[in-house]
Amino acid sequence: MEKRVVIEILEKGHKDFKKVIGELDSETLDSVQAIGKWPVRDVLAHITAWYLEFIREIDSFLIDKPIINLPSGDDAFNQREVRLRKDKKLEELLKEWEDSYKALIGKVESLSEDEWNHICTGHFWPDTKEEVGVQSLFATYQDSGTSHEGEHAREIKNFFDL
């Protein structure tokens, strides 16, 4: 998948998420459980954590020491990262979310073609058995046409019938 396409998908997902949360008041963002047991603020914390994790993973891939399985698993990672941000004021969380998005976009934009196409020799994703590489972090975007954030924007939009 081309780097430009991934950036466009990330940008669209972020724009969609911003639009959805812009239609909700802060009390709703803080308290209404829109996705499972998570209010929208927890979804923000979750997305923020994954943007930061993607940056960390890209860096690990580029030195051929890929982090392809979080030691505690995705669910435990999600719970921990949401819990870490639980006491932040909504404004602080919104800023961290925006900053993490900009950092990921900056990271992807800064990658040379060689870095973007880098494959970690001898490392494979456990679920797909495909080679691990920077592009492979974004492989689901090609199938779905949306980013992780864009998918959550759609779920929240549907939940609130916006």
Q: In sequence order, what are the residues at sequence separation of 6 or more whose Cβ sits closer than 8 angstroms to the Cβ of residue 131? A: 119, 120, 123, 124, 125
CB atoms within 10 A of CB 154: 15
Cα-based torsion angle of the residue sequence 89, 93, 98, 102 in order, rounded to the nearest 10 degrees? 130
Please give the domain boundaries of the chain with CATH numbers for all domains.
3-160 (1.20.120.450)
**Which pLDDT band, with edges at 50, 70 and 90, does 69 fall under?**
low
Q: Does the structure show a pLDDT above 80 at 71?
A: no
Question: What is the distance between the alpha carbons of residues 101 and 11, in angstroms, rounded to a whole number?
Answer: 9
From residue 25, give the alpha-carbon distance in Å to each of 46, 65, 151, 158, 161: 19, 43, 21, 16, 15
Average pLDDT (77-83) is: 93
Output the pLDDT for position 72: 59
Does this model's pTM top 0.95? My answer is no
CB 93 within 8 A of CB 36: no
What are the structure tokens assigned to 134, written together?
A: 């920077």
The total number of residues written for the chain in this structure: 162
Question: What is the distance between the alpha carbons of residues 126 and 123, in angstroms, rounded to a whole number?
Answer: 9
Average pLDDT (102-112) is: 98
Give Cα 109 distance to the centre of its chain: 16
Q: Tell me: the pLDDT tens digits for 9-68?
A: 999 999 999 999 999 999 999 999 999 889 999 999 999 999 999 999 999 999 999 886
Q: Residue 132 — φ and ψ, nearest 5°?
A: -85, 130
Output the pLDDT for position 10: 97
Q: In sequence order, what are the residues at sequence separation of 6 or more whose Cβ sits closer than 8 angstroms to the Cβ of residue 33? A: 39
Q: What is the mean pLDDT of the chain?
A: 93
R_g (Cα) of the chain, nearest Å: 16
